Structures are given as structure tokens and as C-alpha cells.
Structure 1
Amino acid sequence: MGPSRRAFPLAEERPRRGPARWVARGLVLALVALVGLGAWLGGRTLFHSVLGPRCQATAAGSSVDFDPEQMSNAATITAIALRRGLPARAATIALATAIQESKLRNIRYGDRDSVGLFQQRPSQGWGTVEQILDPEYTTNKFYDALVKVDGWETGTITVVAQKVQRSAYPEAYADHEQEGRILASSLAGHSPRGVGCRLDAPEGEADVALIGRLLDAEYKLKASGGAGGTLTVSAPSDQIAWSVASWSVAKAVDTGITGVTIGDRSWSRSRDSSAWEWQQAETPAAAQEVVLHLA
């Protein structure tokens, strides 16, 4: 009878795993760490997009969301169109263009020497870098060029915007026309109660001087008061009053405004979901007047 066969080798006879075993474990741990990091980053992004400071514009049953910086720039573009007596179509074209060119951010970089909301180029005669980075200046320059385009009021946005911008990708402007329409309608006052912003508490007191400068530059309107913690803006029409009210909400991130009252409606600065909507005002404002709360 031959030698017996062992079902299992003795410990000292088991094959040695060597360093490959530790390499495999290291790879598994690294993979777990990467998955965990991805989940954390994803959760953080979700937190900021869902619960962080955010603005929303609503018109005709449709809504678009932007962060406060973007909504503030959209308010400037829309207000200047109204100041110039241009129809909502002008603001729609300008907003769709700015969304495509800069995502409504006043950026200091771009293709070649392009800068600003509309990515205008100093070398193409739009102005100096400093001028183009001024939102009021660059918006007015856009409208100066827009109104010179034959048939801009009824032409397709790809054709009209291309004649103003001379872009390499003109078809891209049409992708943002719906967003532009919603922003223009709500910020121009055609869709009352259409703008809400959920914001952090201001870091300091409201900047009364800045509010006055922006109202003058973007609407050619003035505010009165200030001593009692409020400013009052008188508008020439109900539509302009609602535009100023929406603009004030959009500009709150820059100015420190804590509340806005128009008619029997009021917006109060908050991180709560209530800041998406206009509530019943405790003290209504007079007709065609907008009351800005500073504290």
C-alpha cells in the first residue's frame, strides 16, 4: 500500500502569498476610499444645490434655477433693457446670449481676450477690460449693437445674437432661449411674484449707497427714506414696480436687503423654503411703490 495522501497540506507546505496579498488589500482600501470620497463630494454638491443659497424665476408655469450671482446679473441685464425702453424680446436675447457666453457670470477670462458677461473682446472694439467687466457698461454695449441689427425684434435668436456676437457657435444661443424668456418675463415684471431667492443672512448692514447707485444706473430711479430701516422706490407703472421688486430680491445678495414689500405681498430673506415665494404682507405698500427692508 503506497504512502497515504493528505487532503490538505501542512501549514508549512501552504503556498506563500507574498507581497501580492498586501498589494491587493491596498487596492481594495484605495477603491473604498475613492468611493467614499465620491459619495461625500456628491452629497456636498447635492446639499449646496438643494439646500444652499439659490434663486428661482417662474413664468407661465415654468421655472429655472440659478445661483444668487447669476440671478443678480440677470436682473441687471433685464433692468437696463427696461430703462432703455426696449421690449422683453431684447432682454430675452441678451439673457440667452449671456447664459451661453458666461453662464451669467462676470468672468475675467475666455477665448482669446474675451471677458465679462457677454465675452466681449477689447481687441474688437467693445471697450477696455475694465469697462467690459462693468455689468452696466457691457450690457449697454450689447444693446447698442442689438438695436442696429435689422429685424432683431422678430428674427430668430441664432441669427440676431450671431450678428451681435460673431460667435463660432451661433446655434448654441437657441439652447437658452426658454431660460431667457422665463428670466425676462419674471424680472421685467410681466410675471409678478416670479422671483424668489433663498439666501443666507447678510454679513452686515444693508448698503444704502450701493442700492441707490444701482437703482439709478439700471432703472434711472431713486429711493427715499433709509433712516427708519426701509427705502421706498416709486415706480411709473405696476409692471415696473414688480420689476423693481423682483430686481431687489435678485440684488439682495449684493446689497444686504432683508425684505421687499409690494402691494399686499412681501418677500423675506431666509434659507427656508418660504423664501421661494411671496407671502401676505403685514403692512401693505402703496400703489406702484416698493418698500425695501434693510434690517
Structure 2
Amino acid sequence: MPEPSTTPRRRRGRLYRCGAAFVVLLAVAGYLVVQYVTGGAGAPGCKVVSADGDGAAYEFTPEQAVNAATIAAVGTGRNLPERAVTIALATALQESALRNIDYGDRDSLGLFQQRPSQGWGTEQEVMDPTYSAGIFYDHLVKVDGYTELPLTVAAQRVQRSGFPDAYAKHEPDAALLAAALTGHSAATLTCEGRPGTTRVAGTDAVRTALARDFGQDVLEPAGAVVGDGDPTPAASPGAGRDARTLTLPVTEGSGGLGVTQRGWQLAHWAVANASALRIEKVSYAGREWTAGNTDSQWRATETDGAAGAEKNAGPVRIVTAQ
């Protein structure tokens, strides 16, 4: 009597091995997608939450935070509405996951995947986040009624993407970021902000980055001073000065925003740049954020809390690691 054939058994073995290999391949692909979208999971995290108490939140990386803060600063520096910033952020989320990448489809580069061959600027220019955000806004404001259009329509009229509906899915996250980074929502953006992740540090580095994103006017007149004393001209020279503290006065009309909104924009900008600039502490309007806390919350520094914050917001104070 012939022995039973082993062929079906071998075939099942091959199927199992192929199936296992396919599962591993899917896992690797999923990991790479997550790494692309988040910019790497190992970096200290950032989070923005809704001011409406509806539980909406978006988590992102310090790299994404720096780029988002730049996009918002460039927009408000042009006195553009929050809607413009939301459209720009959603576009950059779709095009590059808010990462300043040096590759893309054909010659596309940077945050917005702009193509030098299509007149967006030189390779060096479109890789500059401040420039790329600015030229995006240049095109956006030429779109008639862009603030009233669906976000994906407004973005597509600028980008001319092969995937015209792709921007819409990023609108909720972009709206949360825009509300915080234009200062509309107070104390809603936090980062772990572990100091020491870069060699760039000190108040000079913070001043340079502020001028890059907001323009030199953010440091004038009398403007930002090194030290935690009174930043007004009447203050005694050197009074209460600490070389690690940059004090930013906030005035009416700064960046086209009200005093408190402008203050929260600057405060959130500092938190977003905490890892890159080794910022240890930011305080404004009776609230304080400290790097390295496990919960990364804004905490009240006054007994009267938020009520006192609105009444006497004061300057924004940024404390660096050195």
C-alpha cells in the first residue's frame, strides 16, 4: 500500500510561512508610516487641546511644533486671519506631515512640497520654512473668498495637487494648532520640552528665532530685554536681571492681535520651540509651563488664577537652559 503523500502538508507549510512574512511586512510598513507622519516616535512629545472642553486633542513632535509655530507666526505677521493659518497648517500636514523634508514628487521640497521648477523659488528658498510659508500665503490671499471656501478647496487652488480632497482630513488638527499658535486659545499647547536636545541655547538664540519668525518688530521698541525685571524704559538698568531670562513686553496691536492673544501666541511659540532652543520655562498671564514635567501642564502662578491673568497679563518671560 503506497504511503500518504506529503505534498499537501508541504503546501500548507509554505502558506503559513508566506502568511507570516506578509504580516511582518504589514507591520514594518505600518511602522514606517507612523515614523513618517510623526517624525519619529522617540522624540519628546507635544500636545494641543481644545479650549472648548470637548476633549479634542492632537499630539505631535517637537520638529512639527517648530514648523507649525513658524507657519502661524508668518501668517499673523501679515495680519492674516486665523482661517488662513488653519488652511496653511492643514496643507503642510498633508504635504509633509509638518516636516521640512528635502525630497518629494519630482522636484517638490519642504513643508509645502513646493516645486522650484514651477516658480515657487529656488531649492534653498523653499527649504526655508519662513520663506515657504510666506509664499504659500502670497498665493492664498489671491484666492477670491478663501476664508469662506471649504478648506480643501482653498488649499487645492494654491497647491494644484493630484489629490484635491486630501486636505480636508487635517482640518480638525490644523484648527486646534491654529487656535493655540495664534493665541486665540490660552494655555492649550504643551510640550515635554526636554532641554539639552541641541547645542543651540541661550537668550540670543531665542531672540534670533523670534526675529526670524515674527520679524524684528517683535523685539522693538525697548522691546525684549534679557532679565526678569520690568521691561519698560523706566526700569532701573540691570534690576532683577537674569542672563537666562528673556522678557517680552506685549503691546496693543502687536501682530494685529489684542494684547492677551498676542501674549499667548508668543508663549505658545516658546513652548513649541522648547526642545530646539533649550527653553526651560515660559510664563504669561498668571500661568507657567516648565520643561520636563511628566504632565507638561500650564500651572497657575497667582492665587486668583485665570481671572487675574486676564486683568494683568504682563510680559511673556522665557527662561533658557543657559
- TM-score class normalised by the smaller sequence: 0.7 to 0.9
- In structure 2, do the counterparts of structure 1 residues 235 and 65 end up closer, same or farther at CA, with 3 Å as the change threshold? same
Residue matched to 1:176: 170
**Bigger Rg, which one:** 1
Matched, 1:210 2:205: yes
Tell me the CA shift for residue 210 of structure 1. Answer: 2.5
Unpaired runs of 5+ in structure 2?
1-8, 228-241, 252-258
Equivalent positions of 1:132-211 (< 5 A) are: 132-203=126-197, 204=199, 206-211=201-206
When the two structures are superposed, what TM-score results if normalisation uses the length of structure 2? 0.73
CA distance in 1, matches of 2:277, 2:154: 34
Tell me the CA shift for residue 252 of structure 1. Answer: 0.9
Name the SS for the 2:273 alignment partner. helix
Residue matched to 1:278: 298
Residue matched to 1:53: 44
CA distance in 2, matches of 1:244, 1:201: 19
Matched, 1:91 2:92: no
Tell me the CA shift for residue 200 of structure 1. Answer: 2.5
Tell me the CA shift for residue 229 of structure 1. Answer: 1.7
CA contact (8 A) 1:58 1:191 kept: no
CA contact (8 A) 1:261 1:267 kept: yes
CA contact (8 A) 1:188 1:242 kept: yes
Identity over aligned residues, as a percent? Answer: 42
CA distance in 2, matches of 1:288, 1:282: 13
Task: Report the AA paired with residue 141 of structure 1.
Answer: I
CA contact (8 A) 1:53 1:199 kept: yes
Name the SS for the 1:154 alignment partner. coil
Name the SS for the 2:149 alignment partner. coil
Tell me the CA shift for residue 113 of structure 1. Answer: 0.2
Residue matched to 1:225: 226
Tell me the CA shift for residue 214 of structure 1. Answer: 2.0
Tell me the CA shift for residue 140 of structure 1. Answer: 0.3
Task: Report the AA paired with residue 56 of structure 1.
Answer: K
Residue matched to 1:238: 260
Residue matched to 1:291: 317
CA distance in 1, matches of 2:61, 2:212: 23
When the two structures are superposed, what TM-score results if normalisation uses the length of structure 1? 0.80
Task: Report the AA paired with residue 98 of structure 2.
Answer: L
- In structure 2, do the counterparts of structure 1 residues 123 and 50 end up closer, same or farther at CA, with 3 Å as the change threshold? closer
Tell me the CA shift for residue 187 of structure 1. Answer: 1.2
- In structure 2, do the counterparts of structure 1 residues 49 and 279 end up closer, same or farther at CA, with 3 Å as the change threshold? farther
Unpaired runs of 5+ in structure 1?
1-19
CA distance in 1, matches of 2:194, 2:315: 26
CA distance in 2, matches of 1:102, 1:50: 16
Name the SS for the 1:116 alignment partner. coil
Residue matched to 1:73: 67
Please identify runs of 4+ aligned residues in structure 1 that moved more than 6 A: 48-51, 282-286
Q: What is the Cα-based RMSD across aligned positions, in Å?
A: 3.2
Instruction: Name which of structure 1's ranges 63-72 and 53-62 shifts more when overlaid on structure 2.
Output: 53-62
CA contact (8 A) 2:194 2:292 kept: yes
